[in-house]
Amino acid sequence: MSNTRTGIGTPLPPRRRRRRLVWHRTKDLRYHDHPFYCSDGECSNTPITSTITSVFIFDDQVCCGLRPSTCRPKEWMAVNIGPHGARVLLESVADLRQRRPLLSTTTTTESLIVRTGSTVPILLKLIDEIINISEDDSTTEYEICWNEEPGVYEMELSREARQAISTRFPNVRIRTTMSCTLYHPDDLPRTKNDWQPITMNTKKKKEKKQRQRQQHSNSNSIINISSERWNGMPQIMGEFRRTAREKARVRPCFELFSSSNSKSGIDPGEIPTLESLLEPLLLYAMDDEQEDRKPIMGLPSSIIREVCHHAIRIYHENNKNPKMTTTVLAPQHNRRGGESHGLAHLDNFCRNYASKAQRNLACVDNHQSSHLSHYLAFGCLSPRTVEVTTTTTTTTAAWLISHMTMRDFFLYTCLASEKQFYRLEGIPVNKKYAESIRWKSFVVEDNDDVIVVDDSVDDETTTTTHNLWKDWALGNTGLPLVDAAMKEMIQTGYCSNRVRQNVASVLTKDFNIDWRAGAEWFQFLLHDHCVGANWGNWLYFSGVGSDPKQRHFCTVSQALKYDKDGTYVKKWLPQLNASSFCSVTSTKNKYYEEEFHLRPWDFDSSWKRPPISVDSQYAWRDLQRLKETGRLMPF
C-alpha cells in the first residue's frame, strides 16, 4: 500500500504550511510561556508545518522619543521609555536574539529580526518580504501575531497595525492575545453581574464551565480588551483580587515547541547601541537656551544628561562583566535585562531568599525584595511563570503571587479607564475627597476645563510651585528618605516600593502638585516602568484612584520604622553620616549620632529645611515623644 494513502485507500490531505510572523513588543520579550511559540491546539486532520519569523522594532516614538507631557502638554516634553528603561529593553532584546536558535529543530536558524524606525511601515514591509520568499502554493497560510499591551499609545499602535495589515494583506490572518497578566482576560468576568460574589452551591458549576472554556479556547482571533469589556469591574483592589481568585483560574504555562525554522534570507538587522538610542534625547538636552525648546518635565537639561550617562555607565558595566549580572552578587540596579537572566534570578530567589526577605525595609541589598519588576515590565518573565516557580520551589513566598494579582488590578484598570486613567481628576472611589484637593499646578484638560486648581495662583505662586517640583524631582527637599529615593532612581533607575510610596505621598499629599508630573518623571527614570502599574499606583497614592483610605506617609516615622539605622539614606546621601558635619551645637548633641539621619534640620543649621511643616512628617505618637523627651527613637 502506498505511503500516501490511508488504510482505506483515501489519499492523505496535503501538508499545510504556515508562515507566522511574531511581532514582539515591550511586554513579551521571552519565548517561555509565550502564546505564539506553542502548539495552537487547533483540531484539524490536516498536518501543519509551522515556520516562525520573529521581529522586534525599536520604534522611534517609543524608545526615548519625545512627546508632549500629559500634565503640561503646552510647556513640557516627556518620553515613553526613559534611559534606564531603554538599557533594560536593549539587554532584553539582545538576550532574545541569543536564545532564538533554541526554538528550532534545524541546525541553521533565522535570527531574531531587529529593526529601528516606525513600526507599521516596517511590519508591512516584512510581511511583503515573507510572502515573496515563500513557495507560491495554495497550501501556505500567512499570519502575524502579537500581544496587546495596556496603555493608550500601545492600544492605538495596535489598532493602526491591524487596520494597515488587513487593508494591504487581506489574506494574512491577524491574531492577538495578552500575556502580561496572571489571569487571562478571557477568564475574568464579562458583565457587572458576573463580577458579583458567587455562592458555594454554584461555585462547582462555574468552575466546570471555566475549565471547559479554557480547554476549548481558540486563540485564533483578536482578543477583546476594550474598555467596554471591563464594565462592572471592581474599582477597589481587594474586591478585584477576591473575585478573580474565586471566579478565574491561573492558566498553565504554555509549553515551548520547536518550529521548522530555516533561514528565510531576510536581513536580521543590527541591534542598536544604547548611545544611538539615547542620541536624540541627548541632542535635545544639549541647549537650555533655545527659545522654542520645551524642557523635559520642566527640569534642567543637565539632569536629563546625567540620567542618560548613568544608564550608559550601567550598560557598559554589564557588558564588561556579563557573568556577574546573572548572579546574586550583582547590585540590583546592575542586574541585566533578558529572559535568561530573569529565569535564573527567579529560581535562585525562590529557592534561597524568598522565605527570609524583609520586604518592608528600604532596600539596600539584593535580597530584601524580589527584584523581578524589570523582568515583568518587559515580559522577560510571565506572571504565570512566577506563580509556577513560587509554588514548586517554596511554600513561604505566597506574597509574590499576591503581588501578581495587585499588578493585574492596575493593568486591567488601565484598560477599563482608557484616557481617564491619565486625567488629573483620575478615577477616585472617594470622590468627595478627590474633589477637595487643591492642586497647585495649571493643568488644562482636552475639554479646556481647568480641573481643581488653586484659586490663589499668581506668578509668584507658580514660581514657588515649580521650585517645589524641581526640588522633589532632583532630590533636594531636605527630607532624607525622599531625597535618597530620588538620587537612587536618577543613578540606577530603581528604588523599592516602600520608598516609592513615600515620595509619591510627599509630592501629592504634602506639596499638592499634579500627580501626573510624578508619574511621568517616574516613567522617565525607572528601569522597570510599566504604564498600568506605574500610573495606577500614582492614582492610588495621590487620592484620585482606588484607595478608599487616603493614606498619608509620614516620611520621618517611615524612616524610623523601615530604615532605623539609616543604612539606606546614608548610602545615597553620604552627607548624612554624622561625622560629615561640624556645626552641631552642644545643646543638640545629645541624640546627634543616632538621630541625625532622621531629622538633620534639628542638628545642623546648614541643612536645607523642608518646605513644609516637619511636624507633618511624624506619626502622632512619634511627634509626642519628640516633644516630650527631645528624642525620636523609643527608649
Which positions make up the binding site? Answer: 369-373
Q: Which amino acid belongs to residue 273?
A: T
- Pairing relation of β-strands 66-68 and 77-79? antiparallel
Helix (H, G, I), strand (E, B) or coil at 29: coil
Contact indicator for 41, 48 with CB cutoff of 8 Å: no
Within 13 A of 450's CA, how many CA atoms are on the CB side? 9
Contact indicator for 145, 175 with CB cutoff of 8 Å: yes
Contact indicator for 149, 180 with CB cutoff of 8 Å: yes
Known binding-site residue numbers for FAD: 369-373
- Distance (Å, whole) CA 537 – CA 227: 19
- Distance (Å, whole) CA 493 – CA 310: 9
Contact indicator for 48, 13 with CB cutoff of 8 Å: no
Query: Phi, psi (5° rounding) for residue 66?
Result: -85, 145
- Distance (Å, whole) CA 420 – CA 632: 42
- For residue 418, give the DSSP letter: G
Q: Which amino acid belongs to residue 576?
A: L
Closest CA to 264 of 112, 140, 461: 112
> Residue length, the chain?
635
Helices 497-505 and 515-525: angle between axes, nearest 10 degrees: 150
Contact indicator for 115, 55 with CB cutoff of 8 Å: yes
Cell 524568598, residue located: 354
Count of Cβ atoms closer than 10 Å to residue 228 Cβ: 8
Q: Report how far apart, in Å, the C-alpha atoms of 583 and of each of 449, 458, 591, 592 are.
A: 51, 38, 15, 11
Q: What is the chain's percent helix, strand, coil content, to nearest 5?
A: 45, 10, 45
Element (H, E) at 489: helix 480-492
64-77 burial by CB neighbour count: b if 16+ within 10 A, else e? bebeebbbbbeebb
Element (H, E) at 24: strand 16-24
Q: Which amino acid belongs to residue 485?
A: A
Residue 448, Ramachandran bin (φ over 0: left; ψ between -120 and 50: alpha; else beta): left
Cβ contacts of 19 within 8 Å, gap of 6 or more: 51, 53, 130, 131, 134, 140, 141, 142, 143
Q: What is the dihedral of CA 108, 109, 111, 112, to 10 degrees?
A: 180
Count of Cβ atoms closer than 10 Å to residue 346 Cβ: 24
Helix (H, G, I), strand (E, B) or coil at 141: strand
Burial of 311 (0-12, 13-18, 19+ CB in 10 A): buried
Sheet with 48-59: strands ordered across: 113-117, 48-59, 16-24, 140-147, 173-177
